[in-house]
Structure 1
Amino acid sequence: MDCCSEEKRKLIEEIGVRFEQVHQLAPLAARIYAIMILSPKDGHTFDEILNITLASKSSVSTHLNHLLQLKKVEYFTKTGDRKRYFRTSTYYLKNTLEEYHASVSEELRLIDKIIEFNKNNNNQKFQSTGQIALLFREYLSSQRNNIENVINKMSKIEI
């Protein structure tokens, strides 16, 4: 990645590794996404992304298209310029929270089923350890409410 300072290269790598884990992105897609997050609002052209990543045209194209489909990246054009410029989606942080919200909601749905099943079918187990599951459910519910509040606040901010 011949794009920037050593500090920025390290941060791109650190963010990229995290995005591989959290968003299940391929390594190159995660690095491209990190580059977009750390880039100015006017974005990068395809050729600039090629130069930064030192990856093949087909690999960059494939991963950029995947990021576009996931709505993590968007493109725009400039008047009088035929090139496409890529940047993070205007609402990438809101989109990320919405993904977390869906994940927490699914976890809540499953913990409710587990609690109900153990309550009805494993009453002794539920009596001895059910409070832990109920505390976990309370935590997840609180997380979901917090995420919803932040998403609502973000929705009110005009960009």
Structure 2
Amino acid sequence: MQEISKEKCKLVEELGLNVEEKHNLPPLAGRIYAFMILSNVEGHTFEDIIEITCASKSSVSTNLNLLVQLKFIEYFTKTGDRKRYFRITKNYLRITLEEYHREIDKELTLVKKVNKFNEENNPEKFKKNKNLGIIFQEYLIAQKENLELTIKKMIEFKETLDQ
């Protein structure tokens, strides 16, 4: 196992905190995921991850199982080797973008309902604040369309790699 640079350690912590907060994960799961994003190795053993994180076997096991269950990471085996190797799920970026898309879609649905409700039930308020609600609705629509385009590009890119 090679030594990890201070720069990489710092970025693992920063990225790990972001992943932890955004996906409501335990701190160790965030750090494991961040480390794997930044890794230049295709797959790490359980023992590698224990050494990298300096965490207990049970903590690493629990957090790896959580990340596998949530489809953040996956494991594979090598012929003739009984060990499992963990890596980022092949489609992790697409999965993340699809998650954002669902969140924006929910928010857009709510904003449309609020705008419609205010238009019908609070006409003075709607008239006064209409532009703000419409501006926000347009922003969400643009975000949703941008995500859809990006996901489509990722799928097309993946298809070219698979050929």
Over 3 Å counting, the alpha-carbon distance change for 1:73 and 1:42 in structure 2 is: same
Residue type of the partner of 1:140? Answer: L
Contact map agreement 1:3 1:51 (CA 8 A) in 2: no
> Could you list the per-position Cα deviations for residues 26-68 of structure 1 after superposition, in whole angstroms to 9, with x for gaps in the alignment?
1111000001101124211001000111111111111111111
**Aligned residue in 2 for 1:153:** 153
**Aligned residue in 2 for 1:60:** 60
**Equivalent runs, 1:17-56 vs 2, <5 Å:** 17-56=17-56
**Aligned residue in 1 for 2:99:** 99
**Aligned residue in 1 for 2:12:** 12
Counterpart CA distance in 2 for 1:130 and 1:44 is 53
**Equivalent runs, 1:114-125 vs 2, <5 Å:** 114-125=114-125
SS in 2 for 1:157: helix
RMSD: 1.2
Contact map agreement 1:20 1:30 (CA 8 A) in 2: yes
Counterpart CA distance in 2 for 1:41 and 1:6 is 18
Q: Moved runs in structure 1, 4+ residues, more than 4 A?
A: none
Counterpart CA distance in 2 for 1:80 and 1:137 is 55
Contact map agreement 1:101 1:147 (CA 8 A) in 2: yes
> Could you list the per-position Cα deviations for residues 76-117 of structure 1 after superposition, in whole angstroms to 9, with x for gaps in the alignment?
111111100001011111111001000000000110111111
**Aligned residue in 1 for 2:139:** 139
Counterpart CA distance in 2 for 1:42 and 1:22 is 25
* TM-score for the superposition, normalised by structure 2: 0.93
Residue type of the partner of 1:134? Answer: I
Q: What is the aligned-residue identity percentage?
A: 54
> Could you list the per-position Cα deviations for residues 131-151 of structure 1 after superposition, in whole angstroms to 9, with x for gaps in the alignment?
101100000000000000010
**Aligned residue in 1 for 2:111:** 111
Any stretches of 5+ residues in structure 1 without a counterpart? none
Residue type of the partner of 1:22? Answer: K
SS in 2 for 1:86: strand
Deviation at 1:3, TM superposition (A): 4.8
